[in-house]
Amino acid sequence: MGIHLAHRMDILKASDVRELLKVTQRPEVISFAGGLPAPEFFPGERLADIAREILAGDGARALQYSTTEGHAPLRRQIASRLNALSDARYTADNILITAGSQQGLDLTGKLFLDEGDEVLCESPTYLSVIGAWNVFRPTWVEVPTDDDGMDMAALEERLDRCRRPKLVYVVPNFQNPSGRTWSLERRRRLMEVTGRRGIPVVEDNPYGELRFEGQALPSLKAFDARGLVISLGTFSKIFCPGLRLAWLAAEQPLYEKFVILKQGTDLHTATLSQMMVSRYMERYDLDEDVRRITEAYRIRRDAMLAALEKELPEDVRVTRPAGGLFLWAELPPGVNARDLLGRCVARDVAFVPGEAFFPNGGHENTLRLNFSNMPPDRIAEGIRRIAAALAEMQAEAA
Amino acid sequence: MGIHLAHRMDILKASDVRELLKVTQRPEVISFAGGLPAPEFFPGERLADIAREILAGDGARALQYSTTEGHAPLRRQIASRLNALSDARYTADNILITAGSQQGLDLTGKLFLDEGDEVLCESPTYLSVIGAWNVFRPTWVEVPTDDDGMDMAALEERLDRCRRPKLVYVVPNFQNPSGRTWSLERRRRLMEVTGRRGIPVVEDNPYGELRFEGQALPSLKAFDARGLVISLGTFSKIFCPGLRLAWLAAEQPLYEKFVILKQGTDLHTATLSQMMVSRYMERYDLDEDVRRITEAYRIRRDAMLAALEKELPEDVRVTRPAGGLFLWAELPPGVNARDLLGRCVARDVAFVPGEAFFPNGGHENTLRLNFSNMPPDRIAEGIRRIAAALAEMQAEAA
């Protein structure tokens, strides 16, 4: 093109999920691809009244510039909620309102990552952290992960070989994409290992409140003796994503640096959206909403697990998530999930091939299935179609 | 702190303007410091009805994830408006909705700047572009600027000495901080000079519609034969800033790269805000709103110019902006504007010392005055207090 871009643009490409979302917006498509919450639980009517009230009564404030840190009442509400849910001891002064957790990731990359710095993550890891951080050109170190979380011996062994390990990124609850949840013991051990070495940990927790069964476990923050945990949380999955409201919780001196970076990135998050969510939480019981959403997603998970068991051959392995929005499937070796997707899109059903969740590639026989955005009968139909596509593909190969 | 941050954090510090905003939120302060629009023109009641309508009738869409590029109807409306105002030929496919123009700056820095790349800018330049781009560690090359815009001979001479000139950043209309507007001839020449060398130009135009007198001039885009102009525009100054809605206009292949970067930065801008502004523009005449705002700001500019002429000694030079929100003052050599600010804050009046607008420092005897956020009588009173503080300071020095 003749124009010289930054070197960071060499490796960036559009994300599969976002490109797929475009195809899957056709209403006839049964999409297990995105991470879309069920819109029937969005409190549109309640928010309609709240937005009206705020704009008519306090429009000069709701529409004016505001502080970078965020709307003070909302920051206090988030701090109290986090403390109640996860044994943390945050105050409003630890909470930075962000434009989605994606912005929390962008700011964290900006704060820590120089080219070639090592980032340690679960394998597989969240797709969009790869996109957010690749602009800072880190080296991704994937750490083997089982049903209890990261393998701690493998983590230590990899840390010993790193030159500049800067961050550990994990999703301890109902991980995206695997659906797995870390055990208590692994949580404690991770904080010992990283605390001893002084390595910051990003605890990304968008799904933790959406638990279908079993007991909630303490957050990593609960074991953070040195102020090394950066917690990311969001209203996207427990309320609605379109307002782009999330938060980053951190201790000083990191907190003030995040504020400076956010200032240079977008000055502040939209004032009206912040005031709306704050008033909603004052007036209604968000926990009650979360219970309703969770119950619906549990039913959908069960529908998907039942359909998978019924339709798919035994050599396809799937996880059984205890919460969240996703499960993970491993096809027999040699079956390429991207090829399968091609056949599935022709049948109006979609998912995300798993390869995209491995920063260093590979694992072409894996895929992620989202179960939150489709009712049970469409889930069953969609899995039938995937099974048919897979059978066709395997018959042709034989 | 024991934690290793990215090298880019070495030079970042909180912006004067944002820190000052905190002090100036006290209602008794007469603030000429921020760039706050006058909130009495925000259409709170109209937006209250529109927000209610959208959330009650189309909440599932307004609160759901959306596409990175932005709400399609709004992108079409912006393209038509730009074409009507500035001889451009944009379509919706050139328009990316951003979270304020600040995000447009962040994305542009991400797309182009490696450490040590040269950025050429007016001297002085917009404070927040310095904050946005310093995270990418460029070398700032300030180009002398007079009342007609950048000195073109000086620009060419500096370009000849650059190793990797990546971007030219300018605010051609009612510049922040100087209030100056580029002549037609300088606009044409800039595009010749940069077009010949293939250097992209960022045309930041938040204030262009707020013209008090004289004829509107063509945009730089009107002279862009090679698709090198990246245009930034915003609803912040012509509508309201709290929704954080702005746009970036660019040609392919740059456009698609901006979309990928935005995806990694915050996925997309809030859906509800975009739908609200789109519906507002459908239903009401935004141009009529702009005329009312412009007339009010013209009266405020006149009040400030009159007060400056009456109160300040002749050796203080001020610009006479033909539009926008700001004017620029140069104190006698040796008078430090930061010291003056200290005395002014004690008198409940504030402005921004000019040094912050020079990426390479210096010019301690300059300052920026905003006239959009205070009514004429408070403007007169504020300028009286600044004059008194200056007189006191000069008396003590003598």
* B136 contacts chain A (CB < 8 A): yes
Q: Give B110's contacts in chain A (Cβ within 8 Å).
A: 6, 8, 135
pLDDT averaged over chain B? 95
The SS3 call for residue A149 is strand
**Neighbouring residues of A54: CB distance < 8 A, sequence distance ≥ 6:** A62, A272, A275, A276, A279, B48
- Shortest CA distance from A37: residue in chain B: B64
Q: Kindly report, as residue ranges, where domains of CATH 3.40.640.10 are found in chain A.
A: 65-283
Name the DSSP letter for residue B46. Answer: H
Q: Give the bridge partners for A229, in sequence order.
A: A201
Residues of each domain in chain B carrying CATH 3.40.640.10: 57-283
- Asked if A49's CB is within 8 angstroms of B49's CB, the reply is no
Q: Parallel, antiparallel, or unpaired for β B366-370 and B165-170? A: unpaired
CATH of region B57-283: 3.40.640.10
Q: What is the pLDDT of residue B34?
A: 86
Q: Which residues contact B188 (CB under 8 A, 6 or more apart)?
A: B223
Integer Cα distance of B202 and A165 in angstroms:
36
Query: Residue A135 contacts by C-beta under 8 Å, 6 or more apart in sequence?
Result: A8, A12, A109, B110, B261, B264
Q: Among all residues of chain A, which has the CA nearest to that of B102?
A: A266
Hey, are the CB atoms on A4 and B112 less than 8 Å from each other? yes
- Whether chain A has a CB inside 8 Å of the CB on B271: the answer is yes
3-state secondary structure of B383: helix
- What are the pLDDT digits (tens) for B157-200? 999 999 999 999 999 999 999 999 999 999 999 999 999 999 99
pLDDT in tens, chain A (398 residues): 478 999 999 877 766 555 665 677 788 999 999 888 999 999 999 999 999 999 999 999 999 999 999 999 999 999 999 999 987 899 999 999 999 999 999 999 999 999 999 999 999 999 999 999 999 999 999 999 999 999 999 999 999 999 999 999 999 999 999 999 999 999 999 999 999 999 999 999 999 999 999 999 999 999 999 999 999 999 999 999 999 999 999 999 999 999 999 999 999 999 999 999 999 999 999 999 999 999 999 999 999 999 999 999 999 999 999 999 999 999 999 999 999 998 999 899 999 999 999 999 999 999 999 999 999 999 999 999 999 999 999 999 88
Instruction: Say yes or no: domain A7-43+288-397 is CATH 2.60.40.10.
Output: no
Q: Is A266 on the interface with B (CB under 8 A)?
A: yes
Positive/negative CA dihedral, A46, A49, A51, A57 = negative
For residues B76 and B82, give the distance between their C-alpha atoms in angstroms, rounded to a whole number. 10
Q: What H or E segment, with its residue span, contains residue A367?
A: strand A366-370
Two tokens, residue B312: 């300040």
Q: In the prediction, which pLDDT does B1 show?
A: 44
- Cα(A295)–Cα(A293) distance, integer angstroms: 6
Instruction: Record the tokens describing residue B49, joined without a space.
Output: 């009805």
Contact A51 B55 (CB under 8 A): yes
Pairs of residues, one from chain A and one from chain B, whose beta carbons lie less than 8 Å apart: 272
Q: Write the pLDDT tens digit of every residue in B121-161.
A: 999 999 999 999 999 999 999 999 999 999 999 999 999 99
Instruction: Identify which of B49, B102, B270 has the shortest CB distance to residue A273.
Output: B270
pLDDT at residue A1, as a whole number: 44
How far is A166 from B4, CA to CA, in rounded Å? Answer: 7
Between positions 152 and 181 of B, the ones with CB within 8 A of A are 164, 166
d(CA B334, CA B331): 8
* CA proximity to A75, closest of A228, A254, A269: A269
pLDDT of residue A78: 98
Residues of chain B with CATH 3.90.1150.10: 7-43+288-397
Q: Establish if A270 touches chain B: CB-CB under 8 angstroms.
A: yes
* B26 interface with A at CB cutoff 8 Å: no
How far does B381 lie from chain A, in Å, by closest CA?
24
Give the closest-approach CA distance of B201 to chain A in angstroms: 11
What does pTM read for this prediction? 0.96
- Both tokens of B162, joined, read 């650059």
Q: Give the DSSP H or E segment for A120.
A: strand A118-123
CB of B9 within 8 Å of any CB in chain A?
yes
Residues in chain B predicted with pLDDT less than 50, given as ranges, are 1
What 8-state DSSP symbol labels residue B140? E
**Among candidates B8, B100, B266 on the partner chain, residue whose Cβ is nearest the Cβ of A267:** B100
On whether the CB atoms of residues B154 and B386 are closer than 8 A, the answer is no
CA distance B95 to chain A (A): 18
Tokens of B65: 């994830």
Residue in A67, A103, A113 nearest the CB of B266: A103
CATH number of A65-283: 3.40.640.10
The Cα B104–Cα B204 span in angstroms is 9
Closest CA to A284 of A10, A40, A47, A4: A47
Question: Which residues, in sequence order, are CB contacts of B153 under 8 Å at separation 6+?
Answer: none
Strands A229-234 and B201-204: unpaired
